[in-house]
Amino acid sequence: MASSKAGPEVSVDSPGRALASARKSRSLSPANLASRLRLDTKIIMALERDDYENLPDPAFIRGYIRAITAELQIDAKEILDAYEAQIVTTPPPIRDFSSREQKQIGSNSTIIKATSYGIAAILIFLIALWWRSNNRIAEIEHEVGLDPKDMIETTPISQKANHYIVDGEELILRTNPKKISVPDDDEEIYTATTDPELGDTDRGPGTKGLRISTTEDAWIEVYDLNGSKLYYDPVKNDHPVEIDTEEYYRLNLSNTNSISLRYNGREIDLNQYLKKGVAWLQIGAREIREGKQ
């Protein structure tokens, strides 16, 4: 009885040409054969061209050959032997990476998106830190008020160092032989005296007398309109301080319970100027005018 595998004689010098010849003898197109075997047409065409580079591993190729020869009713052994001989003698092709199409990274790339998001997050974080820092500075300035230097606005109106504009009026300061270095920057707020009894009358020389006496040792700081130190030392209970060279004074007084402060012969109540146990106040021509406004 004739074998069911009998078929037309095919040359097996090339497994691909042998399969293509057998297919054509059955009047089948690559698409028809692929449809019957439920394979991709590209696999049939690659096998017939002996294009094993674009096919899966040899184990899969052997399976394709068996399936195709069974469908075309030809001997699979000769074609498989020819295939085995070809893959042994043919060196594996070296891929030419230089000829491969290079992928370009575009705006839709995951790397580009991740980098952009990272940079944006860093910028937002830095802006938030900057805003918080400036906001905190503004809050501190609001809580503590203006710097004492800003409370004394002076503008030279001539080449003479003792001519100044104070609150729109010219003020000539007398030279003070006790002036020394400008004090260090500080941030305390000084309260201006507005006692009506310390009026703007009697501005003759020597009428702006300042007298500080203590019953206990106390630290005293007295500055003039320019911020120069007039007195910067502790005061003993038996050595009062008297200054009458200026029309404006800024004072820092500690241990105020033991201090008696007189200006133009009148006692000044220090309790209204106390802040954390220290009295900060300013008295004189500039403050008297502010009190009258």
Give the model's pLDDT for residue 204.
45
Please tell me whether residues 288 and 212 are part of one structural domain.
yes
For 151-228, list the strands marked E by DSSP.
155-156, 163-166, 169-172, 191-192, 210-214, 218-223
**In which residue are the tokens 């580009």 written?**
112
CA 202 from centroid of its chain's CA atoms: 60
pTM of the model: 0.30
pLDDT class for 261, splitting at 50, 70, 90?
A: confident
Q: Which of 89, 113, 128 is the last residue of a domain?
A: 89
Same domain membership, residue 57 and residue 168: no
Please give the Cα distance from 251 to 278 (Å, whole number).
10
Angle between helices 76-89 and 58-72 (to 10 degrees): 150
pLDDT digits (tens, 9 = 90+) for 220-257: 999 988 888 888 888 887 788 888 888 788 888 888 88
State the pLDDT confidence band at 88, using cuts at 50, 70 and 90: low
Name the residue with higher pLDDT: 70 or 174.
70
The verdict on residue 66 lying in a domain is yes
Q: What's the CATH code of the domain at 49?
A: 1.10.260.40
Q: Is the pLDDT of residue 27 over 60?
A: yes
Across the range 137-166, mean pLDDT stands at 51
Q: Could you tell me if residue 108 is inside a domain?
A: no
Q: Are residues 169 and 252 in the same domain?
A: yes
Please tell me the predicted confidence (pLDDT) of residue 257.
84
Tell whether 157 and 288 lie within a shared domain. Answer: yes
pLDDT at 205: 45
Radius of gyration of the chain (CA): 52
Last residue of a domain, one of 66, 89, 112: 89
> Is 144 among the domain residues?
no
Which residue type occupies 59? A
pLDDT at 45 over 90: yes
What is the reported pLDDT for 151? Answer: 44
Q: Are residues 179 and 287 in the same domain?
A: yes
- Examine the domain organization and report whether 193 and 278 are in the same domain: yes
- Please report which confidence band the pLDDT of residue 42 belongs to, taking 50, 70 and 90 as the band edges: very high
Domain check: are 281 and 187 in the same one? yes
Q: Which domain holds residue 79?
A: 15-89
Q: Looking at the structure, do residues 282 and 187 belong to the same domain, yes or no?
A: yes
For residues 260 and 172, state if they share a domain. yes
pLDDT of residue 54: 87
* Residue 114 within any structural domain of the chain: no
Q: Are residues 283 and 187 in the same domain?
A: yes
Domain match, 84 and 156 both = no
In a domain, 279, yes or no: yes
Q: Is 27 left (phi over 0), alpha (psi -120 to 50) or beta?
A: left
Domain-terminating residue out of 39, 61, 89: 89
Q: Are 200 and 211 within 8 A, CB to CB?
A: no
Residue 167 and residue 251 in one domain: yes
Say whether pLDDT at 131 is over 80.
Answer: yes
278 domain-assigned = yes
Residue 51 lies in a domain: yes
Average pLDDT over residues 106-117: 82
Number of domains in the chain: 2
Q: Which residue has the higher pLDDT, 63 or 146?
A: 63
* pLDDT at res. 60: 93
Confidence grade of residue 29 (pLDDT, cut at 50, 70, 90): very high
The β-bridge relationship of strands 169-172 and 218-223 is unpaired
45 found inside a domain? yes
